[in-house]
Amino acid sequence: MPYNVTETFGMNENILDSEVGLVTKTRYATKSMATDVDGRKVIKAGSLYTNPDVSTEFGVFLEDHDMTDYDNKPVAIVFQGRLKSDKCASTVTAKKDDFAKTGLYLV
C-alpha cells in the first residue's frame, strides 16, 4: 500500500545527539501507539516504542508520524546510539538505565 498523504504539521524534532554508532531498524507502528494532537493521531519523535510481538524489544521513534489515515505503517526506530534526553518523552527518560544496557544512551 503506498503512503501518499504528505502534510506538515510543524517542525520535526531532531532527537539525535550524534549519528556515530546509530542503529535504526524498520518496524510497524499502529494507530493505537499515537496520541491526539489537534484532531490528528500523531506519534512524536522521541516517543517510546515497544514491540507488541516481542515484549523485550524497545526503542525510540526517530521521526514524527501522522497515523490518522493509516492503521499501521513502517517507521524508523532507534535501538542504539546517542539521543538528546530533553527531546525524548518522559516514558523514555524513565527507562534511561534499561536503554543504556542495550547501547542507547540519553545525554
DSSP 3-55: -------SPPP--EEEEEEEEEEEEEEEGGG-EEETTEEEE-TT-EEE-SS-T
DSSP strand pairing (72-83 vs 58-61): antiparallel
Whole-prediction pTM value? 0.88
Q: Looking at residue 20, what is its pLDDT? A: 92
Residues in CB range of 26: below 8 A, 6 or more apart: 74, 75, 76, 77
pLDDT in tens, 48-101: 999 988 888 999 999 999 999 999 999 999 999 999 999 999 999 999 999 999
**Residues making up the chain, counted from first to last:** 107
